[in-house]
Each structure stands twice: as C-alpha cells, then as structure tokens.
C-alpha cells in the first residue's frame, strides 16, 4: 500500500512538472510569434529608414504590445535625465510649473508625446476592439500627430532652449527604450525594432527643426555620451526639478515607503547622474537587488505570461461627442477627466493660444 501511494504521488508530481514545462514552452513560443511575423513581413531591417509607415507599425508593436510598461518607464526616465543638464533645469525651474503643479506638467508632456507618436497604436486599438478599419479616423490620427508637434514647437518657441539641449532630449528618447528593454525585458530589441524607433524619433526631430541629428543608433549614443561628459554637472536647479519629479512619482504611494522609493530611483541612476542630482548612492547590494528584481520580472513574463492581445494605448482612439479626447487610463490623478483638445495641452498661460490646424488639410498619400 505504501508503495502504491508513493508511486501515485511521484506520478502526480511528474505530471504537474511536465504540464508546467509544456506551458512555459508554449508561452515562450507564442511570445516570439509577433517579432517573427514582423521579421518575415519586413526581412530588410533597414526598411524603416525608407518607409515611415513601416517604422510606425513596428514602433507601435514595441510600445503598446511587446513592452508597454518598460517602454513608458524608459521615456519617463529619459525626461528625468534631461533635468541633470543645468541649461535645461534652469529654464524648467524658472517656469515654476514643477513646484506649482507637477502633476499637470507631467501629464501634458506625456499626452503631447503620445499624441505625436501613437498614430499607428490608435489604429491598432480600433481594429482590435472594433474588428474593422476606419480610414477616416486613421487620417485624423495623422492630423492629431501634426497638431501635437505644432503645439509643442509653439510652446518651446517661448523659451531660450539651445539646439544641443533639444538634440540631447531627442537622443535620450531614441536610446533609453532600447537600453531598458535590452537590460530588463523578456527579450532584447531586434535590429528591425531598433531602427524603427530611430526612424520615428528622427522624423519627430526633423519636424521639431532639430539640427545635426546623427543618422545611426551608434552615432546617437556616441554624441549623447560626449554631451553628458561635458554638460551633466551639479546645479541647484537640477536638484529642485529632480526632487519635485520624484515626489510626483511617489505621490500615490504611502508616505512610509517614500524613503525606500527614493533609494530605488537612486539605484537606477548612473554615478554621473547621482552627482548631478546630489543624490546619495545606495549600496551595491541594494542596486543588485533592484536590478535582479527587474530581471526576474522579464523572465516571468517570458515563460508565464501569454502575449498581450489588446494594445496599451493611453490616448483616445477617437474624440467623444464633445470633440474632446478622454485618456483611456491615468497613472496618477486625472488631469483631464472630461478630455482635452490638443490646443489645451501645456501651460495654462498658453491654453487655446496655439495656432494648431483644427481643420488641417489632407496629408500626402504616402503618409496614409
């Protein structure tokens, strides 16, 4: 009898182990299905440089299907890094937006960038939820992107921002998603995906009249490193903007965990960044713990979480009955619970004053 019980127990344990192993193999197979399909569809990894529509499609796959969480974190971190440049932080500190209403300032930035970049993502969301295409709304998505870019350019035109600071910010938008994904996600970016992100942000940079944009990923990284070595230095304005931003990031967490949260932020910074922000360095053991936790998260996703079916798109796929765009979700307290129009995004003193083309003419056929 004991032998039989032992046999049945061993058989049952083996069955569960085999089932778990089969599930992990299946999840891994399904997780790589999208990128394999894209690589089969676009076998030339340099195609995004010659076809912006292809770049938009592939970049959307990265941002809203494959790596929505870390892609967003990486872009937020890219903005955070720019505050370590005194010429940037001094302008931001002078506006007093970070101290008076950091939530709105952060949300406006997030929404303007999303309006610029989520053209294909909104198309993908509509097709997923509605099961059909909408050519009229697809065209409107491109108009929204154009309007958001003009809005951003108009706001920036009121401040003495250096060309090098524009270029550094653009470089971080190109580099940080790949850096975070390669280090901590369930797989690294492919060459096709990396080129798509570069092509998309290169186009954004040209539309923002940024000069001397490097034309390769490696050249962007080299320029960014050289810029940081020269200009990433301590300044009181760096500290003021960084502190306001970290307070905002921790605003939804209980006050008791804020010291731990600040240590986590510091653990994710380079020594050069900590010095520019005057942040204490955590122990190597703590840094290793945080990085290991992120690495384990990537492994769990790779083997245990089935691929996402509904894209994570924050901007509304279409306007509501009042002609306003209501964000689909909010990471913090909602700033626009009843929606917004693009000319309302940004500082209150510029509200409604931007000459955005609400009745924009049709875009060229190749952009459809």
Chain segment 332-345, per-residue pLDDT in tens: 899 999 999 999 99
Q: Where do we find the tokens 């900590």?
A: 274
Say if 10 falls within a structural domain: no
In terms of residue numbers, what domain contains 103? Answer: 33-353
Query: What is the pLDDT tens value at each position of the chain, 368 positions in all?
Result: 566 556 556 656 788 888 899 999 999 999 999 999 999 999 999 999 999 999 999 999 999 999 999 999 999 999 999 999 999 999 999 988 777 788 999 999 999 999 999 999 999 999 999 999 999 999 999 999 999 999 999 999 999 999 999 999 999 999 999 999 999 999 999 999 999 999 999 999 999 999 999 999 999 999 999 999 999 999 999 999 999 999 998 988 899 999 999 999 999 999 999 999 999 999 999 999 999 999 999 999 999 999 999 999 999 999 999 999 999 999 889 999 999 999 999 988 877 665 554 444 333 333 32
Q: What percent of the chain has pLDDT over 90?
A: 83
C-alpha distances out from residue 63 to 4, 118, 122, 188, Å:
53, 9, 12, 13
Say if 343 falls within a structural domain: yes
pTM (2 d.p.): 0.91
Say if 53 falls within a structural domain: yes
Model pLDDT, residue 354? 54
Q: What percent of the chain has pLDDT over 70?
A: 92
Say if 365 falls within a structural domain: no
Structural domains in the chain (count):
1
Query: How far is residue 292's CA from residue 300's CA, in Å, rounded to a whole number?
Result: 12
- Enumerate residues 6+ apart whose C-beta is below 8 A from 310: 125, 128, 129
User: Which residues on adjacent β-strands are paired with residue 340?
Assistant: 325
Say if 23 falls within a structural domain: no
On whether the CB atoms of residues 264 and 73 are closer than 8 A, the answer is: no
Model pLDDT, residue 361? 37
Chain centre distance of CA 103: 17
Model pLDDT, residue 179? 96
The three state secondary structure string of the chain is CHHHHHHHHHHHHHHHHHHHHHHHHHHHHHHCHHHHHHHHHCCCCCHHHCCHHHHHHHHHHHHHHHCHHHHHHHHHHHHHHHCCCHHHHHHHHHHCHHHHHHHHHHHHHHHHHHHHHCHHHHHHHHHHHHCCCCHHHHHHHHHHHHHHHHHHHHHHCCCCCCHHHHHHHHHHHHHHHHHHHHHHCCCCCCHHHHHHHHHHHHHHHHHCCCCCCCCCHHHHHHHHHHHHHHHCCCCHHHHHHHHHHHHHHCCCCCHHHHHHHHHHHHHCCCHHHHHHHCCCCCCHHHHHHHHHHHHHHHHHHHHHCCCCCCCCCCCCCCCCCCCCECCCCCCCCCCCCCCECHHHCCCHHHCCCCCCCCCCCCCCHHHC
Query: How far is residue 172's CA from residue 88's CA, in Å, rounded to a whole number?
Result: 14
Chain centre distance of CA 275: 25
Say if 75 falls within a structural domain: yes
Query: Please, is 225 exposed, middle or buried when counting C-beta atoms within 10 Å of its C-beta (0-12, 13-18, 19+)?
Result: exposed
Chain segment 36-45, per-residue pLDDT in tens: 999 999 999 9
């Amino acid at each position: 009898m004991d032998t039989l019980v032992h046999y049945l127990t061993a058989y049952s344990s083996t069955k569960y182990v085999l089932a778990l192993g089969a599930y992990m193999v299946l999840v891994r197979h399904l997780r790589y299905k999208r990128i394999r399909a894209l690589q089969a569809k676009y076998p030339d990894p340099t195609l995004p440089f010659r076809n912006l529509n292809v770049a938009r499609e592939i970049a959307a796959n990265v941002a809203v299907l494959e790596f929505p969480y870390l892609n967003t974190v990486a872009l937020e971190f890219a903005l955070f890094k720019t505050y370590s440049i005194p010429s940037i932080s001094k302008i931001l500190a002078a506006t007093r937006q970070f101290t008076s209403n950091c939530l709105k300032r952060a949300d406006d930035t997030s929404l303007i960038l999303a309006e610029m970049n989520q053209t294909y993502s909104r198309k993908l969301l509509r097709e997923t939820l509605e099961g059909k295409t909408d050519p009229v709304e697809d065209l409107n998505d491109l108009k929204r992107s154009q309007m958001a870019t003009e809005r951003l350019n108009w706001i920036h035109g009121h401040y003495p921002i250096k060309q090098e600071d524009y270029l550094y910010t653009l470089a971080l938008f190109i580099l940080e998603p790949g850096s975070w994904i390669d280090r901590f996600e369930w797989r690294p970016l492919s060459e096709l995906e990396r080129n798509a992100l570069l092509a998309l942000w290169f186009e954004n940079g040209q539309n923002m009249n940024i000069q001397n944009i490097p034309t390769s990923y490696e050249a962007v990284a080299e320029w960014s490193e050289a810029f940081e070595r020269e200009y990433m230095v301590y300044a009181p304005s760096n500290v003021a903007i960084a502190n306001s931003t970290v307070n905002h990031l921790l605003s939804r967490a209980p006050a008791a965990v804020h010291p731990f949260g600040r240590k986590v932020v510091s653990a994710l910074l380079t020594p050069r960044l900590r010095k520019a922000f005057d942040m204490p360095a955590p122990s190597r053991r703590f840094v290793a713990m945080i990085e290991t936790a992120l690495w384990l998260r990537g492994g769990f996703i790779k083997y245990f979480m089935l691929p996402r079916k509904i894209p994570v798109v924050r901007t509304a796929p279409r306007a509501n009955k009042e002609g306003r765009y209501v964000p689909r979700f909010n990471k913090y307290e909602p700033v626009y619970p009843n929606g917004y129009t693009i000319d309302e995004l940004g500082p209150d003193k510029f509200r409604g004053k931007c000459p955005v083309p609400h009745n924009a003419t049709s875009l060229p056929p190749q952009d459809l």
